Structure 1
């Protein structure tokens, strides 16, 4: 789980920075309300990227452990691991 968070962290951060830069580009418009919306959205995206996705999501994932994947079959004890399941037969026409 930590490896997955570490691998995707850079991608998520760079995508958030690019999205914030895109909204910041709206600051050159002559309309005041659109500039205000652009600044608010850019700051919100940066807060989400830097604070929530970089710090809070990994912290909650570590705190919850296996319960992070609660609705999936990964947490069911009766289910066999994915790699141990037999291959399903395919229909060949």
Structure 2
């Protein structure tokens, strides 16, 4: 019985920790608002990008700024991160 409980507890911790370590670029609902097209190939000009940035919650801006400061996470999204970092992660 203890073994089953220990396994269940380990599973619950693992499932609970997953969202905290998730890639913000893959599960970020507002990400498409920074692009002019549905394929997310063409970024909005800085004015439109800035409007979309400030439409996000402070929590989401902090999360994206942290991701853009991580070289491994930002490399595939270099153009997006360049604009985020140009805004200085402004609040």
- Same fold by TM (over 0.5)? no
Which one has a larger percent helix, Structure 1 or Structure 2?
1
TM-score by length of 2: 0.27
TM-score by length of 1: 0.27
Structure possessing the higher radius of gyration over alpha carbons: 1
